[in-house]
Structure 1
């Protein structure tokens, strides 16, 4: 995940690279889990009620139930086992290549999220 303003800054800098192939993953640090992201957004929105927690295996069983229902009915559902696994997966991105060229984002990920939410 990354703030678009930081990505634009990086792309401007990348346009100055010399010839050759340059490969980068872009992400702003620190990495946030889906749960941390949801909690941060809820906090920014002033939602104070606790978020219910669903154990992974129970969620995965629910996902498989929707997979089966999808096969039986031929309909696609927005919930399935693949989405449940992705929700719980570790999705960290290495930014070592960014660090190796000395790129540092100007806007923190949290500030970027706050700016996005204020603009909505």
Structure 2
């Protein structure tokens, strides 16, 4: 007989480690671009950085206790080396130079391939 069978027979329940809720992250966008967040570029960049889009909130300003991972407002608003800065998504989609700048800026934020 397994030890778990003995515990079950005595009515003893086993402790189970609770599943941690994924951390919510934030992407900052300009107010005019708040409804332009469905771009495949955004999804791909978040994926390459190791973030699940389902656990990312898009907002126009930072909120307390939520980590900002990307600022797409086009101007340096957050002075933090842990936040990816880029042009707004409409500019990235139209302007090759903005897309190149995004790629250059995101290099330090990329997750290694083996951890994706």
More helix by share: 1
Q: Is the structural similarity TM-score above 0.5?
A: no
Q: Which has the higher contact order (CA 8 A, sep 6+)?
A: 1
TM-score by length of 1: 0.21
Greater Cα radius of gyration, structure 1 or 2: 2
TM-score by length of 2: 0.21
More strand by share: 2
